[in-house]
Amino acid sequence: MRDRLLASTPEGQRYIELYNNHTREILSLLLADPKLAETGITVLTELKPLFDKLLTGKGIETIISSKQLNTIDAFLNMLVNEGSPALQKDITDLRLKWGGFEQFAGKSIIDVQTKILGHGVFLPRLSNP
């Protein structure tokens, strides 16, 4: 995901930088709070199929649900509540930049990608459907 999608755009490179800046802190928070860790695992579990579809060229037909967005939002809320001022600021800034998550409900993962990265990146299909 990072190397094939995010690294290919300036905005994606900014997200990689944010990830690198906050990884240690987030890992510490996850290790200290089992509920946060559980929510993080739920986020990854729910998003993995979306990312898999995106990376195999099926993102246009893959729809993100309100439930998935609510799970992401809950996780970010927990990080803001427990994180450092720098982490709080970066999450808040991203939320303001993206607008409310509810706008993504019912949209294809390609539409969400376009909003977040600034343009669509069309990847070749790696396997036959």
In a domain, 1, yes or no: no
Give the pLDDT confidence score for residue 116 in this predicted structure.
Answer: 82
In a domain, 102, yes or no: yes
Give the pLDDT confidence score for residue 113 in this predicted structure.
Answer: 84
Instruction: Kindly list the averaged pLDDT for each block of 10 residues, start to end, along the chain of length 129.
Output: 71 88 96 96 91 83 90 94 97 90 89 76 47
pTM, two decimal places: 0.81
Q: Which domain holds residue 78?
A: 6-117
Give the pLDDT confidence score for residue 119 in this predicted structure.
Answer: 60
Q: Structurally, how many domains does the chain consist of? A: 1
Q: What is the DSSP string of 21-59?
A: HHHHHHHHHHHH-HHHHHHHHHHHHHHHHHHHHHHTT-G
Give the pLDDT confidence score for residue 30 in this predicted structure.
Answer: 96
In a domain, 83, yes or no: yes
Give the pLDDT confidence score for residue 90 in this predicted structure.
Answer: 96
Q: Are 84 and 102 in contact (CB under 8 A)?
A: no
